[in-house]
Amino acid sequence: MKRKIAIEDLFRIRLLGSPQIAPDGSRVVFVYKWIDAEKNKYFSNLWWVPFDGGEARPFTYGEWSDSYPRWSPDGKQIAFVSNRQKPKSQIYVIPADGGEARPVTNLEEGSIGEFAWSPDGTKIAFTYRETAPEWREEAIKQRKEKGLSNPPRVITRAYWRLDGDGAFVDQRYHLYVVDVRTGETKQLTKDPTYEEYSPTWSPDGKFIAFLSNRRPDPDNDPDRIDVWVLPAEGGEIRRVETPEGPKYTLRWSPDGRYLAYLGNPYPDDPYPRCDHLWRVSPEGGDATNLTPQLDNLIGVATLTDVREFGGGHALHWSADGQWLYFLVSERGGVYPYRIRVDGSHFEKLLEGDFEIADFTLAQGEHRCALLYGMPTAPHEVYAGTLRGNTLAIHPLTALNQPLLDEVEIVTPEEFEVEADDGVKIQGWLLKPPDFDPNRKYPTILMIHGGPHAQYGRVFFHEFQLTAAQGYVVAYTNPRGSWGYGEAFARAIKGDWGNRDFRDLMHVADYLASLPFVDANRMGVAGGSYGGYMTNWIVAHTDRFKAAITDRSVVNLVSMAGTSDFPMLPNRYWQGNFWDEPQKLWEQSPLAYAARIHTPLLIVHSEGDLRCPISEADQLFAALKRLGCTVVYVRYPQETSHGLSRSGPPDLRADRLKRYLEWWAKYLG
């Protein structure tokens, strides 16, 4: 008989990622990440599995962080990024038939971004951001040994830090090329005002295209990104004429005729927008939107606690340059699509109750590797075979099966609620494993962050854990979520706490009407924007018996100037945070704190740069002065906004324990 899932099972989940199929389609290399509970650390290595079936095996070893594997064009080598020289990270190359990995770069401490093999396999283009000398680990250690203080940071730019990344001040990613045989490295771009990303080689290996915002003040004009081309040996860069706007994931076609990228042509109003797939000649001037009919996000928008948010923007050319393959988020799932380079034959290749978080194509195109996740199982590596416009898939790994064989997993039940304006709101219910339809259960409404993201068809350890403790767990995608069209997502742009609040109250009404739900024992919780909505809800209704607000937005006026992305005036939000703060304050939950009567648990991290810790400080101080029932759990500096997904393992477990204790106290 299976047992109930527990907090400690979080440590047993194997986190797979980045499945890379060999050029000849014979096998798949992927990232295998695990938690060492005793050492309280994450480690990752490369594993491989035959495409035609067989046991998955380790390919690299050691307590490192090996990531971002990429096959050489001839399939004889695999390049990857590793921190084996910690605190330095380097690009390594290992023979595909096994052997010793060797570093091909000799970089100072810093951050390696994206990289790409040259078509002949002799060079690798990559982006890299150097850590300023005074902030490298050795310099900090020497100051500490001498009893010296750390120096001040002199900040001159609006964008100088990033949650989970820390303060990089003036350092930016630049483009480099390294010779794989000799290790000779050449920096191709150096201007400190700008940064470069998404390098891609021309098929003849003579040029590298990349994306960059080279406006006079890129921090204050962030979404005017252009395509650029420069000689692979270095030299003058050339702008490729394309529509202004944000751009991602640049890819040169194998026949050299086109560059493809994802983006939208709205530099002054870019978010939330459905990014489309564009095609342009390397000479520029003929950019074409290949997917004007697409009314959903290209990319991975689903939230879960068994991988980092998002899976990047997978985009692949077929070997003959006639097709482009990509992923689309819709109705809680993520599915592979393809389209011909002339814009015809727009095809969805898979449908079902799952998400594809990443995928790659073999050179022959008829074989692919996929990262496949389900509501009842964490992600595994799958093989795909394309026959015409039909993609047949089967699992290659079952590395989480030992845990799934041991614990009882609940299958979510999908529901739909009609809002007052007739729009359907999709959601899912998790019932306790020993569910009795004749009983009434305490019920918790979970609200996702973003706000422009989605809950959906993936495994969520926290939700399964909560249901196992005897709660009905409901999660849903109100207005603002991705997956239901651009208008659905944009319905709350600059107007939180209005349409989204009403959608969530319709869902709460639906839950209260269910015969197995105890309407007097309902809770509400969420993180980030979900924390904002939790704050807003308890300030506008007393229908919930308890609430938890996690890494939340409390005061839009203060957050607009303290977040890692300082607010641009009159863009997403009306006004600004210095002399036109009225709209921001009106939509801040803090403005309504005196209305809060619901017992509230506040969870926040001192290292959170997205929603700074001052947000939680303000809410807690206000509620204490108001005499409310409130507890504040403040996690230390080594945590960030992503504590629940990628924070220190022991603190992730501690957070779950405190959640369950709060629910037991007020709903149990």
Q: pLDDT averaged over the chain?
A: 97
Closest by CA to 653, choosing from 4, 8, 34, 3, is 8
CA distance 95 to 76: 6
Q: Is 252 contained in some domain?
A: no
Residue 309: pLDDT band by 50, 70, 90 thresholds? low
Catalogue the long-range contacts made by 156-159 (C-beta closer than 8 Å, 24 or more residues apart): 157/219, 158/219, 158/220, 158/566, 159/219, 159/222, 159/564, 159/565, 159/566
Enclosing domain of residue 417? 410-667
CA distance 162 to 564: 5
Q: Is 210 contained in some domain?
A: no
**557 pLDDT above the threshold of 80:** yes
Q: Is 201 contained in some domain?
A: no
From edge to edge, which strands make up the β-sheet containing 196-201? 196-201, 207-212, 226-231, 238-240
What does the pLDDT average to over 1-10?
A: 97
Residue 285: pLDDT band by 50, 70, 90 thresholds? confident
DSSP 163: T
What does the pLDDT average to over 420-447?
A: 98
Residue 307: its pLDDT value, please? 85
Residue 219: its pLDDT value, please? 95
Q: Is 563 contained in some domain?
A: yes
**312 pLDDT above the threshold of 70:** no
524-554 pLDDT, tens digit per residue, is: 999 999 999 999 999 999 999 999 999 999 9
91-139 pLDDT, tens digit per residue, is: 999 999 989 999 999 999 999 999 999 999 999 999 999 999 999 999 9
What does the pLDDT average to over 353-359?
A: 97
CA distance 641 to 618: 17
**333 pLDDT above the threshold of 80:** yes
Q: Is 585 contained in some domain?
A: yes
Instruction: Report how many domains make up the chain.
Output: 1
Three-state SS for 253-285 is CCCCCCEEEEECCCCCCCCCCCCEEEEECCCCC
Both tokens of 73, joined, read 């064009």
What does the pLDDT average to over 363-377?
A: 94
Residue 388: pLDDT band by 50, 70, 90 thresholds? confident
Task: Assess contact for 459 and 376: CB atoms under 8 A.
Answer: yes
What does the pLDDT average to over 13-26?
A: 97
**584 pLDDT above the threshold of 70:** yes
488-505 pLDDT, tens digit per residue, is: 999 999 999 999 999 999
176-227 pLDDT, tens digit per residue, is: 999 999 999 999 999 999 999 999 999 999 999 999 999 999 999 999 999 9
67-98 pLDDT, tens digit per residue, is: 999 999 999 999 999 999 999 999 999 999 98
List the catalytic residues: 528, 641
Residue 233: its pLDDT value, please? 96
Closest by CA to 41, choosing from 656, 544, 638, 542, is 638
Residue 376 burial by CB count (10 A; 0-12/13-18/19+): exposed, middle or buried? Answer: middle
Residue 4: its pLDDT value, please? 98
Q: Is 572 contained in some domain?
A: yes
Give the distance from CA 216 to its chain's centroid. 29
Which helix (H) or strand (E) is 509 found in, with range?
A: helix 499-513
What does the pLDDT average to over 318-341?
A: 97
What does the pLDDT average to over 585-604?
A: 98
Helix and strand numbers, DSSP H then E, in the chain: 11, 41
**311 pLDDT above the threshold of 60:** no
Please tell me whether the overall predicted TM-score, pTM, comes out greater than 0.85 for this model: yes
Residue 365: its pLDDT value, please? 73
Residue 337: its pLDDT value, please? 97
Cα–Cα separations (whole angstroms), residue 334 to 123, 272, 455, 655? 34, 18, 11, 29
51-75 pLDDT, tens digit per residue, is: 998 999 999 999 999 999 999 999 9
Share of the chain above pLDDT 70, in %: 99
Q: What is the CATH number of the domain that holds 647?
A: 3.40.50.1820
Which helix (H) or strand (E) is 559 found in, with range?
A: helix 556-562
Scan for tokens 């406006």, then name that residue.
215
Q: Is 488 contained in some domain?
A: yes
DSSP 319: T
Q: Is 649 contained in some domain?
A: yes
